[in-house]
Amino acid sequence: MGTEKENKGKNYIRFDWAIKRLLRNKADFGAVNGFLSCLLQKQITISKVLESEGNKRTKDDKYNRVDILVEDERNEKFIIEIQINSQIDFYHRMLYGVSKVVCDYMKEGDFYGKIQKIYSINMVYFPLGESTDYIYRGDTEFRGIHNNEVLQLSYSQQAYFDKERVGDIYPEFYVLCINNFDKVAKNSIDQWMHFLKTTEIPDEFDAQGLDEAREKLKIDNLTPEERKAYYHHLDQKNYEEGSMLHNRLEYERKGRIAGFADGEAKGRIEGKAEEKLEIAKNAKEVLGLSIEQIQKLTGLTKEEIEKL
C-alpha cells in the first residue's frame, strides 16, 4: 500500500487518529497530560474522559462533535479538537463547542458559580485566517473605556472561586496552526509541535508526555485490524487534502472566486450556468459553505443548490 510505504521510518501514529482511538483510557492519559501541561505551562492531570457528543435536545439542535472532551482533577474541562480539512466558519465552531459544553454541564437552577473553566484546544492543519505564528491564545478581560483599567475580581471572589483574574473564569482558547511550525524545537511545546506536524519523535526530545507517546503510539503495537483502519484513515486524509488543493488551484487559476483567500466573496460570479453549478458543488462539498453563502457566491437559487 502506498501510504504504508510513505510512513516507513515514521514509527508513530498521527495524534489526530490516536486521540480518538487509543488515548481514552486512564492508563493512557500520560501523553495527553504531557501535551496539555506543555501548552498551558502548568501541570495538568486528566481524571476522566467525558461524553464527546452533546445530547440533542431538539431535532434542530446541533451535535457538539469534538475529538475529545476531558476533565482534570479540579473539574476544569478541556475540549481538544483536531481539524484537518479547511472550514471557513471554524472560529464559530470553536465558540459553539465551548457554549455547548457550558450548557450541557449546567443544570437548571444551578448556582452560576458552578460553571467550571473550559479550555478549547484547537489543532488546525489548514490556513486559518491570516497567521504567521504557530500558537495563538485568547481569553477574556474587561477594560475601562475611559481609563483602560482592567476589571478585577474582589478579594472575596478570588477566595471563593480560587481565581486570580476575571479571565480565569471565562473560556480560554488555543489555536495551534500546525503547518506554520517550521522552526527548530527550542522548548517542550515546540517538541510537541514537531511531532504533531511530522509524526516523528527524535530520540533527544524529552518534553513531558513524549515518552508515553513513544510507548503508546508505535505503529508496530497496533493490531492488524487497527493498522488497517489507520492506513485507511491516512489514505482518506491524503485524498481529501489532494482534492482540496486541486480545487483551490483551479479557483486561483481561473479567477472564479475573487478575494476568497481571505474568506470573503467579493462580488457575484458571472458566467455560464454550468460553471456556476460546478462552483456551487465544490463550495458545498469541499469548503462546506451553507446554502445561503453559496447563493450569495453564485446567484443560484436554493432549489438549484439543494439538487447538487
Q: What is the pLDDT of residue 66?
A: 54
SS3 call for 245: helix
Residue that is written with C-alpha cell 437552577 in the block:
109
Mean pLDDT of the chain: 81
Series of mean pLDDT values for 10-residue runs along the chain (308 residues):
44 83 78 95 92 44 61 93 86 94 87 93 90 95 96 96 94 96 92 93 94 89 85 71 57 51 44 70 70 78 84
Q: How far apart are CA 32 and CA 30, in angstroms?
A: 6
C-alpha neighbours within 13 Å on the C-beta side of residue 187 = 6
First to last CA, the chain: 33
DSSP state of 43: -
What is the side-by-side strand order in the sheet with 172-177?
46-50, 68-72, 77-83, 118-124, 172-177, 135-138
Q: What is the pLDDT of residue 218?
A: 87
How many degrees, rounded to 5, is the angle at CA 25 between CA 20 and CA 31? Answer: 75
Q: What is the pLDDT of residue 80?
A: 93
Q: What is the pLDDT of residue 193?
A: 96
Q: How far apart are CA 66 and CA 53, in angstroms?
A: 7
Cell of 57: 435536545
Q: What is the pLDDT of residue 253?
A: 54
Report how far apart, in Å, the C-alpha atoms of 80 and of each of 75, 124, 230, 268, 281 are: 16, 11, 20, 37, 30
Q: Which residues contact 207 (CB under 8 A, 6 or more apart)?
A: 34, 38, 188, 189, 191, 192
Query: Taking the complete model, does pTM exceed 0.85, yes or no?
Result: no
Q: Which residues contact 51 (CB under 8 A, 6 or more apart)?
A: 69
Torsion over CA: 179, 185, 186, 189 (sign): positive
Q: How far apart are CA 61 and CA 90, in angstroms?
A: 18
Length of the chain: 308
Q: What is the pLDDT of residue 252?
A: 55
Burial grade of 71 (CB within 10 A; 0-12, 13-18, 19 or more): middle
pLDDT tens digit string along 133-176?
Answer: 999 999 999 999 999 999 999 999 999 999 999 999 999 999 99
SS3 call for 248: helix
